[in-house]
Amino acid sequence: MSDFELVVRGNIVDADYVREDSWIGVRDGRIAARGAGTPPSATELVDARGLWIVPGVVDGQVHSASQAGQEGLGHASRAAAAGGVTVMVDMPYDDPEPVASRGQLEAKIAEVEQNCHVDVALYGTLNDKHGLEAAAGLIEGGVCGFKFSTFEATPGRFPRVDEDVLYEAFRLIAPSGLACGVHNQMQELTRKNIARLKANGDTGWDAFMRAHTPLIENLATALIYEIGAETGARAHAVHVSTSRGFELCEMYRHAGHRSTIETCVQYLMLNHEEHSRRFGAKTKHYPPIRPKEEVDLLWTHIARDACTFVSSDHVSWGLERKGDPDIFRNASGGPGLETLLPAFWTGCEMHGISPSMVVRQLSRNPARHFLLDDRKGSLGVGADADFVLLRPERYRFDPARSLSAVTWSSFEGQEFTIKVDSTWCRGMLVYDGERVVNHAGDGRFLKPRSVRPTC
């Protein structure tokens, strides 16, 4: 009789070490043992010597349902599998209404369980329609965090939350232990800058970055952390693109507050001078892609392990939303589920940073942040057997082969140094390097480990 249902042999990368010629043994969808050298017997043996074995990626910022009829959770989960993402953390700003009530949450959970190929955790939000009192039902229903914004991206769906309301929301959520993530952008300063540039006819490819100055982002980041300090909530800035943002987070951390910080892979791997000039509105994100000097500073914070986690901020806008010569008339964001892992791995390699940092930033840390670390984010015994086999290989990324809802990318033509060979979720093969091979509905909705309901 075999010791395990599945044994995988290769070079293991976990958050604290790299071990060549090692193995993991899987039983009942979980990692039951691991070791080095010759592996034990198994019903199925995967000989991946020469390949990296890493925990499945937990992508902490995904917008799969932001555009009605465009993508949806099921389609996004296929792209996730192709990118080595075994857990999508999906944002609440669905079209036409955000997830701000227990009923909306339950409907989205049903969509996950019917359509998804990988596991999914869900953010919630609060709005005027359902009131702050909806927080308790969302927490009991299993949201892994709350998302708010200091800027109105879309009336109704993605509103600005006034500071006094944000304070009350943080105060209500704080006892649960869930993080309060906030889109960090000062609204009036943004609108003033854009109005001035438009009045002067200054709307070309480079105007977006000049309109969205570091001050606009940094003031909002400080505001978020100060409200966290006042309420005791876990205050989280969701996409920091400036070195100053990391300095602010560290100030609040050193003062004893539960401040956390996230950046996105595009702010680490793209720069204004080269990529925004080349791709124009395809690189329009919020916050904007920054100059190379700022990108280099961000890597210093990654190198010293000061970032809570790195995400993709994935959204599959069609190119019809990215083709206007007026940069301000284009949608912000782009596809990223398939490029998060290979791009960040490549960046760490370029900067002489250990592959273990990839695991910390893309797997262990986001699993901890969203209180999923009892089962996700590691290759430890007892964890779900979520893992990715990575093949060392140099190639230029071609989005024409994407499994996303769109086949363009601001990473087009970038050279990566690893390729996803296969993706496994709970011991089940999901992606074989070419195709998604499991079934829609094999993915599961994930609740965070025990949290206390709010008042």
Question: Could you report the per-residue pLDDT of 199-210, keeping only the tens digit for each?
Answer: 999 999 999 999
pLDDT number for residue 450: 73
Q: Which two tokens stand for residue 133?
A: 């009192």
pTM equals 0.97
Q: Which helix (H) or strand (E) holds 88?
A: strand 85-90
pLDDT number for residue 453: 60
pLDDT number for residue 65: 78
Residues of the chain with confidence (pLDDT) below 50: 455
d(CA 207, CA 229): 35
Please name which of 353, 333, 408, 367 lies closest in space to residue 62, comparing C-alpha atoms.
333
Dihedral angle over CA of 83, 281, 350, 399, nearest 10 = 30
Pairing mode, strands 415-425 and 179-183: unpaired
